[in-house]
Structure 1
């Protein structure tokens, strides 16, 4: 049988599925993607509302991710860089801190900030040097702990943890108590230290769109939800059946595969509210953090600091909530607007949109970096992909898609 005659089907057109298709194409195969929605990207979506470009949640990409560098044309994405560091808000007062090794203007503000002690700041520099010397695989081979316990073991003061590490990494891990694995903390911290946090000029959806547009022989069927997967057959929700030599499930698989019933993936959620506001009180492409974990808003970011929007009504601001809330939208908008005014000194003009993201990040234990192609194999003809197999990151999504595709190729080519 010729390569183009094999029926290789991929379920899901997120980063995992798109990279899997790219790898299969590189080896001469012509896969088909079945996507339940009308668009590519999975969790990476961008919308236009009233002339403003809104990502589905405040999301950045870390330019140092190995798979990002391998599979994306970073120059073509016109990446907009966030400044390293943060503006910390505590009891209506703000303090700016940065990385003096990358931005010399941050040296004095960071040294003299009240965020932590001088000892804490030396410990930060020491941690930077330690992680630069470690490979990614060495980080993931370490014994796991919670991020909170890790920071305490490193000797950071409670003030430094509560004023900087907790709010900053709560926004990344989408949980307020730093229960996330210390492996993930070291990995993300290393990536931040060695590269940039960036957003494509076209919004976060520009990342999967670039992967999609670079596919040549892959067919993509949109609005095609898969109900069931067996070794040699896909059953769509509309009852249609498709013969399959190999299937890569690049999304949550528990609802499609009989022997995975009851093994439903747990997820972390968040809410992101967008507003137009009167002025930019930060004046830079840098994140604003609320150090009081009892407040609703974890972080704010002025998207108008890096993106060109067609609207002129005001500055575009996002406010992200990482803990569970039970307010209706009207109540939540009112309470967040009050916090923005009294805690951050920001007067809102107009509420634009709320995104509730119930599946923002997989909630994982025993996280890993690497996945062998054989480990992606669920059965003789079915392979799995997705960041939920490894760790919650764009890098893991791409890597798992690559490994699943290579698993199929190994079976076919030996």
Structure 2
């Protein structure tokens, strides 16, 4: 990978603007078909929103993210072994006003079956309804889930026979962290696909942080394909013009950037509203949990929290614990203090001695996916102009990768390849 100042420009078949996972997947498929491709990226690293920083010896992702092993695009594109994936517990802890409850998958951890006894987390009718919903989502062909009538997630849960009490106790606090909205107005189609992926896969963290995923995708491309630190100012009739004034000639241009740059470069593409999330990273002297499990709050003072160093020990230097806690929206004065107070209750330990390491706000973390939600959108915007990203599929790594693949296919067809 090189920077904008390197090399002399030559005409290429396809220019991909943006080296997030969608753009990298698109480039890979185009190259595999024998098409000359160049990828330009404004930042100094690949990954887009999937980036990892080193902060005072700690591994910090740009916002809390997890990696799901069940996604078809993930299985087809990545060798997972070099990522050294570290799994979360198959379940969550739920902080309630009457104490902490555990929701686990007893098919993976039979010893947790007592946690699902009627009367603890939910009643018998709710547990039976959950079993039916989960069995259907896990075993049904994905096309059936994608073609079902689209409603809100809350309506879908009610239609499945799940009570409001169980929704408020488990689904709402848990899914708020998945959808980045706490009213469960997200597409039911997307919910069923997400629930299926969780049942069939494992939620993990790469040992070196989520940024290891796009780095692995970029490493599979030929040397010199990706040019870093090359922001594009605008598209031209012949390709694109960089901020540095360099012409990048190409027969086709695929814009695989975040929503802001996409709207500037391809105004006709149409960009949905995005959800904002802020993650607070605290350093504690010891782990307040001592297990690799997500913790959610029925009062929804935070989306979720976990001890990252319990999941991937290398995320924190020896003798320290790294705690990540996410909330909806941006950072604000006094908010960290409120979060710290909520964590004191949720973890059942003092937090005054915790140090705030850093704060990460991601303004375009996830596209809003209200019903009816199209799960597939064409990448074609105009002649020779294409767009890809999670905003043209589903708000997930699977959606971003699939969108990149779809863009590559449409470009190849239009080029007669």
Matched with 2:348 is 345
Residues 267 and 363, structure 1, Cα contact 8 Å, conserved in 2 = yes
The structure 1 residue matched to 2:234, chosen from 228, 236, 239, is: 228
Following superposition, the deviation at residue 413 of structure 1 comes to 3.2
Q: List aligned pairs for 1:334-373, cutoff 5 A.
A: 334-348=337-351, 349-365=354-370, 366-371=372-377
SS in 2 for 1:413: coil
Counterpart residue number, 2:291: 284
Matched, 1:269 2:276: yes
CA change 1:92–1:275 in 2 (3 A) is farther
Partners of 2:154 and 2:195 lie apart in 1 by 14
Distance 2:128 2:290 in 1: 28
Counterparts of 2:131 and 2:268 in 1: how far apart (Å)?
48
How many Å apart are 1:338 and its aligned residue? 1.6
- Kept in 2, the 8 Å contact 1:231–1:246? The answer is no
Structure 1, residues 379-413: CA drift from partner, whole Å, max 9, x if none?
Answer: 22112111101110101111111111122222233
The answer for the alignment partner of 2:332 in structure 1 is 327
Measured after TM superposition, the shift of residue 367 of structure 1 is: 2.6
Q: CA deviation at 1:156?
A: 1.0
| Shift of residue 237, structure 1, vs aligned partner | 2.4
CA change 1:184–1:50 in 2 (3 A) is: same
Which residue of structure 1 aligns with residue 407 of structure 2?
Answer: 404
Distance 1:112 1:315, change over 3 A: farther
Q: Distance in 2 between matches of 1:367 and 1:157?
A: 25
Distance 1:53 1:126 in 2: 40
Structure 1 runs of 4+ with >4 Å offset: none
**Secondary structure in 1 matching 2:263:** coil
Aligned counterpart for 1:38 among listed residues 23, 32, 44: 44
Q: CA deviation at 1:312?
A: 2.9
Query: Could you say which residue in structure 1 is the equivalent of 2:94?
Result: 88
1:190-229 pair list within 5 angstroms: 190-216=196-222, 219-229=225-235
Aligned partners of 2:276 and 2:330 also within 8 Å: no
Secondary structure of 2:382 counterpart: coil
Equivalent residue number for residue 176 of structure 1: 182
| Structure 1 unmatched runs, 5+ | none
Which segments of 5 or more consecutive residues in structure 2 lack a partner in the other structure? Answer: 1-9
Matched, 1:392 2:398: no
2:309 to 285, 304, 307: 304
**Equivalent of residue 108 in structure 1, options 114, 123, 127:** 114
Which deviations, in whole Å up to 9, do the C-alpha atoms of 1:193-217 show, x marking residues without a partner? Answer: 0111111111100000000111115
Aligned-pair CA distance for 1:132? 2.2
More displaced 10-residue stretch of structure 1: 239-248 or 10-19: 239-248
Q: C-alpha separation between the residues in 2 aligned to 1:151 and 1:264?
A: 28
1:149-178 Cα distance to aligned partner (Å, 9 max, x none): 111121211221011000111000000111
Instruction: Show the counterpart of 2:6.
Output: none
Q: Distance in 1 between matches of 2:346 and 2:11?
A: 62
Report the 3-state secondary structure (helix = DSSP H, G, I; strand = E; otherwise coil) of the residue aligned with 1:216.
coil
Cα distance change of structure 1 residues 258 and 335 upon mapping to structure 2, 3 Å threshold: closer
Aligned-residue RMSD, C-alpha: 1.9
Q: How many angstroms does 1:127 deviate by?
A: 1.1
188-197 vs 305-314, which moves further: 305-314
Aligned to 1:29: 35
1:128 is aligned to 2:129: no
Q: SS where residue 235 of structure 2 aligns?
A: strand
Counterparts in 2 of 1:157-172, with a 5 A limit?
A: 157-172=163-178
Change (3 A) 1:233 1:411: same
- What's the CA shift string for 1:347-391, capped at 9, x where partnerless? 3321111111111001134333345xxx22222211211110111
Give the equivalent residue in structure 2 for 1:256.
265
Give CA deviations for 1:5-50 in whole Å, capped at 9, x if unaligned. Answer: 6431000000011011111121122311111111100110111112
Deviation at 1:231, TM superposition (A): 4.5
Change (3 A) 1:170 1:193: same
Deviation at 1:336, TM superposition (A): 1.4
